Chains A and B, each alone.
Chain A
Amino acid sequence: MKAHGLGHKASASWLLLLSVAVFLLPWYKVPPDGISALWESAFFHAMAGRLWLLPVIVLPIVLLVVWQQRSALKRQIMTLLLLAFGLLSLLLQVSLIGLNGPLFTSVAGLFPGASTGQTGLGWGGFLTAIALLGLLANELADSGFCKGDRFAAAAVVFVVALLGLFVFFPIIKLATTAFTNPEGGLALQAFGARLIAPELWRLNCISSEGGSCGVVINSVVLGIMSATLSTLLGLALAMLVARTGFRFTKTLRAISILPIITPPFVVGVALIVLFGRSGLVTGWGAELFGVTPSRWLYGLPGILMAQTLAFTPVTFLVLLGTLEAINPSLEEASHTLGAGPLRTFQSITLPLLRPGLAAAFLLAFIESLADFGNPLVLGGGYEVLSTKIFFAVVGARYDLGNAATLSIILLALTLGAFWIQARWLGKKSYVTVTGKSDAGLAAPLPKPLQAVSYSIVGLFVLFTLAVYAIVLLGGFVNDIGRWDLTPTLRHLGTAFSVEMGGNGIEFYGSAWSSLKTTLLVSALAAPLTTAIGIITAWLIARQNFAGKRQFEFGTMLSFAIPGTVVGVSYVAAFNVPPVDITGTMVILVICFMFRNMPVGMRAGIAALSQIDRSMEEASQTLGAGGFTTLRRIVLPLVKPAMFTAMVYSFVTAMTAVSAVIFLVSARHNMATAYIMGRVENGEYALAITYSAVLMLVMIAAIVIFSALIGKRRLGRRVPDNAKPQLSEAVSVN
């Protein structure tokens, strides 16, 4: 039939892929050093006794027969049923048969011969799943899903499948790991015991006997203190910028970008260099005031300092947004009613700021819970959930069950905070005006508050400058830790020496390998993250399909999960068949893709909401399918969003540590993991040098991205929405 000509062509390609995957490609994972045996396809294995592979093998043949059916309706229904059956059988067999045969003895009867067991899926297996999903999407489109657009239908199906596999599945796996023992049996008692363990909840630190509190208590206390401090600091900064004639607004905004291009650990290291036992400031203190050097920095004070430095920019941006949205005429009205500046601030400005304050506080709280780098470097004996989880997986006492339990607690705390934030902001946001009002001048800050703000900000800026001065300096002096300032290039040499050998340039430096991996992973992750983020944004903003709300929720969930939890859940999920990909570079890229996708998604949704959708419809009536329309119409119009997504995902991939630290391997080490190793060995100078190099690379990359994505050549019909700004990325995160 002519009407289905195109549909058949697309289906035929998917069918071809399915056949190749089933008959020609190795079904199972090929070990890294193994040789790919091309004949070890599903077909081969099924003949050799793995009978559970038969359904996917006969499927292409049955489909071909069914497609000879004349009645379109019958053909469609039968194809859908067959595909559902194929997918289900695949899902069942990969989830029920493990390395050593059936996972539960009760299912052994279902899969005769399964006692041989099976390893993780290889190219054949993965491509089979992809082909089945592609066929499914095509069939759904032909029956009207996504208004019949094949690309949109495929995008929905694949994004849902990917989210399922890389966001939900790991979390479910994490939960089952917590509830079961390594042998696969239910172990609720063990879970209960871990859940109420005193090392999580004890309150010794406030009792008279002294001692340390449980990790949960520690995490929450740290979170609250750090959120309070950074909210107050952020408020002071925002007040200065919005309510005084402060002249260094640009500088402040620039400084607020620093934390996201700062590799982890360096701030901690810089603090050690300044305030550690043999630190610079400590030395001055001892000399001038006779203060005995001590290790006060290690523990709550140090982490608090580092976190406050890192989160203040975020709270600053959030509060600045709120302050700028407050209609100045309200404050003016208060003045005309006879209230003084201080009174007005108290009774008008502050209450209006409350939603912003809550948002800033909760954001900082969530980030503090998720923070891994600072507690690791500066924690000393102060254990928090994220570090505890790390040592349960990586340390000498490997205990995935315990790590999973701790992760669930951390996840519950984070989701709880997100939930409160959503509730609070939903109810209490008395937005006074939408957009800006030019109805008056903002009330200047009352004098006493102004003085306080200025001194706080002065301190903050001084502190930031000191820390970054050390980062800049540290790599090029003999030993910054001991304050030996003899200039030298030896650290740079250790990390990045090159020599002209017989075979051209040889990279000798110890950091080259991790730098190469990091660059490769980031360069792969950035476009992929952007692609999936923008496609998801497009689906949410432009397509209507059943289950869209759940879909949206799913994408936001991946945003809310702390990195440490993601790391553990990936270890739990992808260390075993069927998707056995730990130790590869793929898992690093995937991890970044799904962690950073929401930033591109949000930027994309915001950009798309500014674009008249009839432009895309025009493109469709002119004969362009979903993909062509996306490429030729949508993408050129959402370039700023792409830029934000691209830069954010690249930079985060270079600086993230909490999730990848679980996923790196000797073959594929990442820069941050390497730096962490140096910090643990006390090789501060090397860590600092490497960090400085990374920051340079990031700045260069941002320049390259903006050149690649290019300037927009648009007319007045499209509002010039927000220029690409990194600070946007910060505030959405």
Chain B
Amino acid sequence: MADIAIEFIDVVKKYNDVTAVDQINLSIRRGELVTFLGPSGCGKTTSLRLVAGLELPTAGQMLIHGRDVSRRPASERNVGMVFQSYALFPHMSVLDNVAYGPVIRGESKHKAHARALEILELLGLPNLSRRLPSELSGGQQQRVAVARAIAQQPEVMLFDEPLSNVDAKLRRKVRAEIRELQQRFGLTAIYVTHDQEEALAVSDRIVVMNAGRIAQIGTPEDLYDRPNSPFVADFIGDANLVDGKVAAGCFSAGNLNLAIPGEAGNARVSIRPERIVLGGSAKPGSISGEIVSATYLGSRMEYVIATNFTELLVSRPIAEPRLGLKQHVSLVINEKDLTRVS
């Protein structure tokens, strides 16, 4: 298909006996920002490097814009990459750093510098062009790294945890900038992070990875509302994982009984903590429990409630009436908030 920018076909990457990436199949559309999300060591960076050409797959194929690049080195792909450490060239000025790509690809020095200046201006760094990377702040270095990657007009942009060296306050701003830039240029981008909030905030789609495999692919809403496995449910946001049985279209655990589609048998469901509504006293059709801990978190309250089948984590807005320890409450859970994960 013409609008597929990047395609992984059965891609495997092994380092000696470690399988870092295990049979990945994935298509990324043009202009899409896809995030690779997963715990440390799950193969995110490796997948990214496979796209860049910094690693070649042990098996399988890598296509960029329909072209098989499985055996092509990084220098023969047109891929912009922003490194975690930024990897700015310490012996070159900011301008030379940004102009490096165009110069290498054969543009005249004059033109390359003009282009570099243009991009630096766009990113709000025009007056830093004469400085050395060592004379910049961390945030500025990060932007120079982005500018350098964009300057070569890449087919694909890759970000490997671009915010891990930016201080916490600035992160929200920088990630919005990256998203804005990506949309303005219509760039196809892959973004690696292990911060789920960051992933939810910037992505068109998220690829959740686990132990070298893809656990689930979907939009942020998909993943949050419809996780396909306990792993995904637990990894993205908080989740109550409840074990029970499904019989005749009904999930039951303790005195919790809710309609659920799908086949009968043992089942595990995920319920988001903020979807559970608390009432003052037990009502018919609701379940009841006792509050065993209540934590004040500024914007919300978090309760742990013991029911007769499990302990549930519940998160409520701070505006609601506060509940105290040992208090008995009723819990209301909607059918639509139940997601079967196994």
Measured CB to CB, the residues of A under 8 A from B are 2-3, 6, 141-144, 147-150, 612, 614-615, 617-626, 628-629, 632-633, 636-637, 712-718
Contacts and interface: CB of A to CB of B under 8 A. Distances in A.
Contacts of B84: 614
Given A617-B81, A617-B83, A624-B104, A148 B71 contact: yes
A716 B87 contact: no
Contact of A614 (B68, B87, B100, B132): B87
For the complex of A and B, the 5 pairs showing the least CB-CB separation, nearest first, are A715-B134, A148-B73, A620-B74, A622-B101, A618-B87
Contacts of A617: 52, 54, 74, 81, 83, 87
Nearest to B91: A636
A620 B87 contact: no
A621 B81 contact: yes
B76 interface: yes
A615 B81 CA distance: 11
Contacts of B54: 147, 617, 620-621
A622 B53 CA distance: 11
Given A6-B76, A715-B134, A715-B135, A618 B91 contact: no
Interface of B: 52-56, 67-69, 71-81, 83-85, 87-91, 100-101, 104-105, 132-135, 148-149, 152, 158
B73 A717 contact: no
A147 B90 contact: no
Contact of A148 (B56, B79, B80, B104): B56
Contacts, number: 113
A143 B87 contact: no
Given A621-B79, A714-B134, A144 B71 contact: yes
A717 B81 CA distance: 20
B71 A143 contact: yes
B81 A618 contact: yes
A618 B69 contact: no
Contact of B87 (A612, A637, A713): A612
Contacts of B105: 623
Nearest to B78: A623
A227 to B, nearest CB: 41
Central interface residue in B67, B69, B73, B85, by most chain A CB within 10 Å: B73
Given A147-B56, A714-B134, A716-B134, A624 B75 contact: yes
Nearest to A636: B91
A716 B77 CA distance: 32
Contacts of A718: 90
Contacts of A621: 52-54, 74-75, 77, 79-81, 149, 158
A7 to B, nearest CB: 9
B87 to A, nearest CB: 4
Max chain B Cβ within 10 angstroms of own Cβ: one of A150, A615, A713, A718 = A615
A97 to B, nearest CB: 39
A148 B105 CA distance: 18
Nearest to B79: A621
B111 to A, nearest CB: 15
B87 A615 contact: yes
A3 B72 contact: yes
A323 B205 CA distance: 59
B91 A147 contact: no
Nearest to A618: B87
Tell which of B76, B100, B101, B149 has the most Cβ of chain A within 10 Å.
B76
Given A614-B84, A715-B134, 15 more contacts: A142-B71, A144-B71, A612-B87, A614-B87, A615-B90, A618-B89, A619-B104, A620-B73, A621-B74, A623-B78, A623-B104, A626-B73, A712-B91, A714-B90, A716-B134
B75 A3 contact: no
B14 to A, nearest CB: 13
Contacts of B101: 622-623
Given A712-B91, A717-B90, A619 B100 contact: yes
Nearest to B67: A3
A608 B69 CA distance: 29
